[in-house]
Structure 1
Amino acid sequence: MSDPRVLLDIDGPIASVRLNRPDKLNGVDLALLHELIAVSRTIRADRSVRAVLLSGEGRSFSAGLDFGSVMSDRTRMWRGFVPNPLSGQNLFQHACWTWRELPVPVVAVVRGHCYGAGLQLALAADFRFTTPDAKWSVLEAKWGLVPDMSGTASLRELVGGDVARRLAMTGEVIDGTTAHGYGLATGVADDPAVPARDLVDAILTRSPDSVAATKSLLNRTRHARVRTAFAIERRLQLAMFRAKNTAAAQKAGAKGETPAFGPRQFGRG
């Protein structure tokens, strides 16, 4: 039996997800795509999980699509392009975007290579912390392709149109410091796991329902009309007023105490 392509460890409220093909610089093959989706479903179903740390085993986050492996089974590859009629996402898109759709924040820790499919996976996280010398690239341009694993939706959200076009059209390789300057990375550090964990610890002090609802609110209103955005705000706020974790936060806040939250109730499980 082959080793799992994606490792999942749950320690209390934190799920650690690690791409596990270090000998291939965590190159993405079809099996890894399916495992990313399966692991995200496991996390979604576990209401005790309140944050995800996403990283790669070995010296790289991911060097991108493993073309040799994927192209060796063209029937499965082409089948992977067929979109789900309900979500409108195909296999390649869903494996990345499922992390944006999780009802808990996802924080990517980037070292080494962050190319192509790996970059699009990192961009689908809610936050990204990188080493200064990590290598980032929308590498599809090198192969005469376009970013097609949800990358265009992420790029247009994070950077200006001219920067998105430059990165996608040239496939140039930039370092982590430049990625941070462009807005692709949330922060840069010699050990990016440290600020990533600091952010997670800060989020854990807040109601898991409030965090989940806020993520949903920002995702759903990103391109909504103002009237629609206001309606979504109202519905989510009413849900928060009824949440037990809201009452716990307010009670503890009034007493100057640290709240004791129960499992997440908001968001699909």
Structure 2
Amino acid sequence: MSERQVETEIEGPIARVWLNRPDKLNAITFDLLDGLVDAAATIERERGVRAVLLEGRGSSFCAGLDFGAVLTRKREVARRFLANPLRGTNGFQRPLWVWRELPVPVIALTRGHVFGGGIQLALAADFRFTTPDCQWSVMEAKWGLVPDMSGTVPLGDLVPADVAKRLVLTGEVFSGEKAVDYGVASGVHEDPSVPAEELVDQILERSPDAVAAGKRLMDRTRRSTPRRAFRLERRFQQAMMRSANTREARRAGTAKEAPAFGPRTFG
């Protein structure tokens, strides 16, 4: 039996997800795309999970699409390229966008290469911590293509229009330190797990319902009208006021104790 190309391990409130093609720099195949969807579905069902760490086995996060494995299967490419009318994504976009839709924070830990589909997967995470010498690139320009795996939306959210266009038009390869300067990465460290775990510790101190609602609220209001944003604020706040985890947060805060939250109920 071949090894899974995406591996998931859940330890208490933390889910760890690895791209598992280290000999191919975790380049993307159809099996890897399917594995990403399955991993996200597993995590969503586990309401005790509070945060996700996403990284690649071996020396690289993800070097992009495995052209040899994917483009030789023309019928499968055509089938997956068709958009699902209900979701609005196709079979190349959905495996990445599911991480943005997951009701818990997703933190990508990057090293080595973050190219093409790899940078789009990292952008689908809520936070990205990188090594200084990690190489990043919206590599599609090199091959006469445009990014088409959902990456244009989070890239446009993160950086000014001129920076986004520069990266998409040129395919520039830039370092982890430059990724922070551009606003593409959240932080840089020789060991990205250090700032990632510090952030997870902070998240675990908060109600899982408030975290899930806060993530969804910020994602949905970023491109909405003020009227719709205010409506979502009211709706989500009403849900928080009914949450047992909110009551526990208030109790613990008043008593100056560490809260004992239950499983996530929002999302």
Residue 252 of structure 2: aligned partner? 252
Residue 197 of structure 1: aligned partner? 197
Residue 49 of structure 1: aligned partner? 49
Q: Deviations over 1:176-199 (max 9, x none)?
A: 000000000000000011100110
Q: Deviations over 1:152-211 (max 9, x none)?
A: 101100001101111000001000000000000000000011100110111011000000
Please list, as runs of the form range in 1=range in 2, the aligned pairs for 1:222-237 lying within 5 A after superposition: 222-237=222-237
Distance in 2, matches of 1:218 and 1:66, equals 33
Distance in 2, matches of 1:176 and 1:214, equals 28
- 1:135 offset after TM fit, Å? 0.1
Residue 182 of structure 2: aligned partner? 182
Residue 114 of structure 2: aligned partner? 114
The code of the aligned residue for 2:221 comes to T
Q: Return 5+ residue gaps in structure 1 as ranges.
A: none
Q: Deviations over 1:6-63 (max 9, x none)?
A: 0100000000000000000000011100110011001001101110000000000000
- 1:85 offset after TM fit, Å? 1.1
Distance in 1, matches of 2:195 and 2:26, equals 23
- 1:253 offset after TM fit, Å? 0.3
The code of the aligned residue for 1:31 comes to D
Distance in 2, matches of 1:38 and 1:57, equals 18
Secondary structure of 1:92 counterpart: coil
Residue 138 of structure 1: aligned partner? 138
Aligned pair count reads 267
Distance in 2, matches of 1:200 and 1:78, equals 39
Distance in 2, matches of 1:183 and 1:37, equals 27
Residue 18 of structure 2: aligned partner? 18
The code of the aligned residue for 1:221 comes to T
Residue 31 of structure 1: aligned partner? 31
Q: What is the TM-score with the length of structure 2 in the denominator?
A: 0.99
Secondary structure of 2:82 counterpart: coil
Distance in 1, matches of 2:73 and 2:2, equals 18
Distance in 2, matches of 1:154 and 1:226, equals 20
- 1:78 offset after TM fit, Å? 1.0
- 1:132 offset after TM fit, Å? 0.3
Q: Percent identity?
A: 60
- 1:247 offset after TM fit, Å? 0.2
- 1:222 offset after TM fit, Å? 1.0
Secondary structure of 2:92 counterpart: helix
The code of the aligned residue for 2:215 comes to K
Please list, as runs of the form range in 1=range in 2, the aligned pairs for 1:53-68 lying within 5 A after superposition: 53-68=53-68
Q: Return 5+ residue gaps in structure 2 as ranges.
A: none
Residue 40 of structure 1: aligned partner? 40
Distance in 1, matches of 2:190 and 2:35, equals 29
Distance in 1, matches of 2:192 and 2:35, equals 25
Distance in 1, matches of 2:196 and 2:78, equals 36
Say what the alpha-carbon RMSD is for the aligned residues: 0.5
Distance in 2, matches of 1:92 and 1:49, equals 26
Q: Deviations over 1:202-246 (max 9, x none)?
A: 101100000000001001111110011001000000100000000
* 1:214 partnered with 2:219: no
Distance in 1, matches of 2:131 and 2:112, equals 8
Secondary structure of 1:132 counterpart: coil
